[in-house]
Amino acid sequence: MACNTVTLNGINAKCDTSAGGIKRVLIIQKDDVTIGEPDAQGVITTITPASGKYFVQWLFRKNTGNYTTSLTSDPAIGTQAVTTDLNLQFTKAEATKRLEIQSAINAAAVVIIEDMYGQYILLGKDNEVSVTAVNQQSGTAVTDLNGYTLTFQDVSLELPHFVDASIIPSLLTAQ
């Protein structure tokens, strides 16, 4: 017997194309932002940084970033968690990137992902997003990666919410 009453509306099969990958991520300290509740469609329409605080933008090469969201559930005890891993790769190991990545390791963050469709996905609504893995490498051959790979992880009670694209410009400093 179900404990919750829900309404299912269906998903129509379409001939949509699908493009993977992500364009960029936006990051801010969790203590520096207030996130509003989602609207009836589950979209976040209000995100308010503290005075003088803004999301910063992390850019990376095409085809080097992705995210994966997975639900883990135990019906026997009634628990579930949604884990999202955000994987990024940055070319060329250098001091400025190292410093920014080290700051992210020490941060409790909120992250917004822009996908290839220009949609925005929020991580960190329930709990802070943490860096859970970093790999700095030199590569061996000239054509190998010299740079960093890192993983951010969000553990939540629900699938990540989408963010209204119209609010994104107000969250950024002049870039």
Determine phi and psi for 166, rounding to 5 degrees. -70, -20
Report pLDDT for 6.
63
Report pLDDT for 17.
72
Is-contact 62 42, C-beta < 8 A?
no
Task: Please report the beta strands in 78-119, taking only residues with DSSP state E, as ranges in sequence order.
Answer: 79-91, 109-115
Residue 25 or residue 4, greater confidence: 25
Give the global pTM: 0.88
Look over the chain and give the mean of its residue pLDDT values, rounded to a whole number.
91
Q: Checking DSSP bridges between strand 147-156 and strand 65-74, what pairing results, if any?
A: unpaired
Distance between CA atoms of residues 148 and 104, nearest Å: 13
Q: What is the pLDDT averaged over residues 19-35?
A: 94
Distance between CA atoms of residues 76 and 80, nearest Å: 11
pLDDT, tens digit, 9 for 90 and up, residues 41-76? 999 999 999 999 999 999 999 999 999 999 998 889
Of the pLDDT bands very low, low, confident and very high (cuts 50, 70, 90), residue 29 is: very high
Distance between CA atoms of residues 36 and 30, nearest Å: 13
Distance between CA atoms of residues 44 and 35, nearest Å: 8
pLDDT, tens digit, 9 for 90 and up, residues 116-165? 999 999 999 999 999 999 999 999 999 999 999 999 999 999 999 999 99
Q: Checking DSSP bridges between strand 109-115 and strand 47-49, what pairing results, if any?
A: unpaired
Report pLDDT for 20.
82
Locate the domains of the chain by residue range.
22-168
Distance between CA atoms of residues 175 and 159, nearest Å: 30
